[in-house]
Structure 1
Amino acid sequence: MTKLKLSSAQMVANARARIKEIETPDLIAMLDDPNVVIVDIRDIRERQRSGYIPGSFHAPRGMIEFWVDPDSPYFKDIFAQDDKMFVFHCASGWRSGITTATLQDMGFDAAHLKEGFSTWEKQGGPVEFPEPKA
């Protein structure tokens, strides 16, 4: 295989160098803030297996750019709230870092959970699980 011009690790590092990162304890403290919208970009199977942050909005990574763009036919109204702080997260902070940088490039203001969901429960964050399907 030909060597890539830019590795995924470098993409994450480049993104993290220019976006707002929120530490896990800080986001836990913001959990009840009505001005904060936590957006979980993990795959639905990750949410089912590991649980999710209570009140978080699920937006699959592959649809984010379309869901935040008001000119897209896939636009979601939740992203029209200019007075909210959006915090994106994935499992480890890699996908959400790149996502947040991409959204910033689009003109959408957002931050991300630095270490992702991987440290959430260990640091005292509450977790919910979807209802089992009958």
Structure 2
Amino acid sequence: MKKFYASVAMAVVIAFGGYNAQAGTPVSKRKMEIAKQHIQQVSVQEAANMKGAIFVDVRSLPEYKAGHVPGAVWAPRGLLDFKALKWFPDKTKTYIVYCKTGGRGSISTYDMVQLGYKAYNLKGGFLAWKKAGEPIEKGAPKGMGKGVK
């Protein structure tokens, strides 16, 4: 039976051209396409120079703990659209949203923009921030997903 399922899995991979799980599903790809049409992205340099901006990390908790933008608020993507108004009550502030490479960040930025926030997506995500040699913090978030008061 295991051989049967392995064969089916291999056939699916071959039929769909070597689908990459990291690239997302057709639904997530479509969400990213829509989001990117309605949001603004900022480069690492632009983000680092935006005085007073609040960085919002929408990655998983293990990703956040392993390294994040100093002072970034942990607001997991799966809860952001449910909790944004509570976590980020001040819509006059500027928010820079990021994930690992930009996909989840784009979708989350779009959610925040739809809710009336001045939000930007960090182009290239945390990996771009790290590659640019910008400072990084490690450890658990203060407040565990409670946002900014």
In 2, Cα distance between the equivalents of 1:97 and 1:54? 20
- For residue 96 of structure 1, what is the amino acid of its counterpart? G
- Deviations 1:41-74, CA, capped at 9 Å, x for gaps: 110101223x1100111111111112223xxxxx
1:11 aligned counterpart, secondary structure:
helix
After TM superposition, the score normalised by the length of structure 2 is 0.70
Work out whether 1:67 is the aligned partner of 2:104.
Answer: no
* DSSP 3-state at the match of 1:39: strand
Query: Identity, % of aligned pairs?
Result: 29
Structure 1 unmatched ranges of 5 or more: 70-74
TM-score normalised to structure 1 length: 0.77
Number of residue equivalences:
116
- Identify the residue that residue 45 of structure 1 maps to in structure 2: 62
Normalized per residue, which structure has more helix?
A: 2
Q: Which has the larger radius of gyration?
A: 2
Matches within 5 A, 1:1-134: 7-30=27-50, 33-34=51-52, 36-49=53-66, 51-69=67-85, 75-76=86-87, 79-130=88-139
Question: After the TM superposition, which segments of 4 or more aligned residues of structure 1 sit over 3 Å from their partners?
Answer: none
Determine the C-alpha separation between the residues in 2 that align with 1:124 and 1:28: 11
